[in-house]
Amino acid sequence: MSNYVLITGGSRNIGGAIAKRLSEDGLRVVVVDRIQPEHEYAEKFIEVDLADAIATENKIIEFTATHSVLRLVNNAGIVMPSAIEDTELDSIEKVVSINLTAPILCAKAVIPAMKKAGIGRIVNISSRAALGKEMRTVYSMTKAGLHGLTKTWALELGRHGITVNAVGPGPIRTSLFEEVNPPDDPRTKSIIERVPVGRLGTPDDVANAVSFFASEKSGFVTGQVLYICGGMTIGSV
């Protein structure tokens, strides 16, 4: 099985942790992002704005024309929160382009090599917001859509030895989370109190789950959504 793994949005935070873990697993990490990786785990870097569908497709096709990629982690995503009545068309288009269109384009590019090899792993990074969250109309829509893609691709591609699964993080302590939720803010404390295990998750918690789904050991697991949420999702589905 080829050791290349394509990770979108793999330059930092959760994506950076995934890059680190998969590199430690012996994989050759290829980061696809608009910013340079803030770590040393990327063997190759594809610089592209994933909101630009044409540029994304061209860059990924160019790379896969000369490299066999049998693992894909669709990690990139943006939120752009707003109340439904304040949601604007440009924000809808941008969130959809990064959260849904880019994963489709990346999958299209790597699937031929996976089919030829008779094995492949696709991991989509979703969110608990797929179950519904205030001020997240478009984000929730796209993450729920990613669940649909995961299950549909699992059905289509299973006969070729390709598994497709999703990881849905709950509250994860990243720089973005801390910007919006300062440690001493009452709202932050309220979030932690709702987590059964009593703490926020870490990017490594997410990366550990991705590591399993990306491994050859996960060959009989496909079409699943695994929430990395410390138990917050219990009672929500």
How far is C-alpha 56 from the geometric centre of its chain's CA atoms?
Answer: 16
Decide: residue 181, CB within 10 A, 0-12 exposed, 13-18 middle, 19+ buried: middle
Write out the catalytic residue numbers.
139
Return the structure tokens found at 151: 């299950």
Residue 107 exposure: Cα atoms within 13 Å on the Cβ side: 24
| Residues in the chain, overall count | 237
How far is C-alpha 21 from the geometric centre of its chain's CA atoms?
Answer: 14
Residue 131 exposure: Cα atoms within 13 Å on the Cβ side: 15
Residue 198 exposure: Cα atoms within 13 Å on the Cβ side: 0
Residue type at position 222 = T
Q: For the chain, where are the alpha helices, taking DSSP H only? A: 13-24, 53-64, 89-96, 102-117, 137-157, 175-180, 186-193, 203-214
Rounded to 5 degrees, φ, ψ at 48 are: -160, 145
Q: Which residue, chain included where needed, has tokens 């040393």?
A: 40
106 touches 148 (CB < 8 A): no
